[in-house]
Amino acid sequence: MHIFLLCSAFNGLSQRFFVELTDAGHHVTVEVFTGDDALEERLAANPPDIIVAPFLKRAIPDCVWQRFRCFILHPGIVGDRGPSSLDWAILEGWHEWGVTLLEANAVMDAGNIWATRTFPLPPMAKSQIYRHRVTDAAVACLWELIEKLQRGQQHGAPLDYSRATTRGRERAMLPMRVRTLDWQCDPTDLLLRKIRASDSLPGAPAQLAGVPVRVFNAWQAEAAVASQRGRAGEIFARDGDALCVATLDGALWIGHLRRSDDHACAQVKLPAAVALRDELAAYASLPVLDARHPNKPWLETRGRVAILHFPLLNGAFTVHDSQILTTLFARAAADSSVDAIVLAGGDDFWSNGIELNSIHVADNPAEEGWASINAIDDFAEALLTCRDKLVVSAVNANAGAGGAMLTLAADRVFMRAGVVINPHYKTMGLNGSEFWTLTLPWRATAEAAVALSENCLPVSARKAAALGLVDVVLDLPREAFLETVVSHVNVLIAPDTLADKLQAKQRAREAMRSGRPLDHYRREELGRMRGNFFADDLHFSSRRTAFVMKQPPCGTPEHLQRHNAAVIASLAGLRRDKSEEEV
């Protein structure tokens, strides 16, 4: 089928739909819809079989859904309607939630239901639930829809509020006054639910250190920490850049904030202590306590396997993060009892490369960007030069840009089915580094490397394996993935074959370099990156600003327009071939 994806942004869910449908042989075009009046005209020029809206913030125009079959993914259970579905569910403490795929009609979110799925709703941030639970359930609904359409079904089930199974209801947008943290009245559990319901957008409004802020990335402090608290709403401890705030009945660690005042770094999400750097001068004696920070890199050892975890927020590496990872990796590499090092990344994202927010607010963004890319290159070089250990990437979550390329610095790459990677940089105005000009052509061929880096399209785990970027795809639940990878690695490092594998690794590394030193690739890549940072030759500055400030897209980006044109041309060719056969 020709399936037209209509979305407000080509986000993770839209990309997952794209790769699933494309891998299955469907002809998929994408429109980032900004509400212009020409949508019907564009659709009429190349009519799709169906329109699917995985992520749409505005109503489909009447003239479109009346002319074309339109299906909308709603992140709520049957009967739920409104723009804040997940927000309300998290705030109210629902234990189960779901998604519904319905056909567009004149009433928002009230069309006939074609598929629905439910899932447990854990105490997590909205963004995490959306990226994982919602996305997996949505894909199941998508395939149910496709199957029903292919067998000729014409109608979904009408929404019926009289049914006992219809548990949802229409909701207004969650007001900011309800999201606002009231340190003097709200118990810790309610504060956490407000923050999680508002993360990553719009953030939970609050006052901290006399500054209006939006709060993100919070977790409950342990009793031993909370026992040292002062008055509710006061900052009383820190751990790195996380700040601990007293509550009525405990304490919360706050990982990230966005200032809402006129400060130079206002409107940019930053580590809490960085966002309040000026105000914290009055807290010089803040005790440093153990936050059990969920975003800290850490190293664990299971027998002869070391596992490097880097569950960084949004999978993004600051200079400091890259330095910590390089140090932790060196520690594992120097451990004579370890034969393999598994790069586990994080469960939310494996990695997305360098962190852009810290670059954006730096006194000199070009210098900060330069320091960031050099620091992550140091980590990549450590992976590539580790001689006496097997290095394994265990990719349990999406990866993009430099993070996607880092996976290739390992000797083996395991990836969970359902993961989507974006092995390219140019949509952010960067040429990229992390030795990708060495590792990507080696694994995927030079021709494929050019296509991946220039087309800037998402790639599924199975497509990545077909291209040679991934060695093993495991179709497993997230919770079972790492344990299974470690089991595979223990087989790989069996004592009777390890020496041969390490020798084969060295031969492969030498063949990959084609007689050139690693420094050759690093110098060439960094030479181009210097132009990106200091000369802004690919418009990194404006693209970074749009990303960091969450500016809405102006329309379908150029790389998707090119993709759409290629799909339309291919469909035209198929129609010509069919006409000739009929003649």
3-state secondary structure 323-341: HHHHHHHHHHHCCCCCCEE
Residue 367 neighbours by CB distance under 10 Å: 13
Low-confidence ranges of the chain (pLDDT < 70): 583
How confident is the model at residue 572, as a pLDDT?
94
**In this predicted model, what pLDDT tens digit does every residue of 489-498 receive, in sequence order?**
999 999 999 9
d(CA 42, CA 463): 30
Single-letter amino acid code for the residue at 242: A
Give the model's pLDDT for residue 577: 84
Q: What is the predicted pLDDT for the residue at 583? A: 60
- Tell me what pLDDT residue 581 has: 76
| Virtual torsion, Cα 450, 550, 395, 85, nearest 10 deg | -130
Q: Of the candidates 135, 133, 120, 101, which has an alpha carbon nearest to the alpha carbon of residue 20? A: 135
Residue 284 has what pLDDT?
73
- What is the model's pLDDT at position 505? 97
Q: Strands of 459-460's sheet, edge to edge?
A: 399-400, 420-422, 459-460
Pairing of strands 472-474, 412-416: parallel
Note the pLDDT of residue 144.
99
Quote the pLDDT of residue 285: 84
User: What is the C-alpha separation between 493 and 529, in angstroms, rounded?
Assistant: 37
3-state SS, 483-520, equals: HHHHHHHHHHCCHHHHHHHHHHHHHHHHHHHCCCCHHH
Domains of the chain, start order: 176-283 (3.10.25.10), 298-535 (3.90.226.10)
Q: How many C-beta neighbours within 10 Å does residue 36 have? A: 10
Measured CA to CA, the distance from residue 293 to residue 244 in angstroms comes to 11
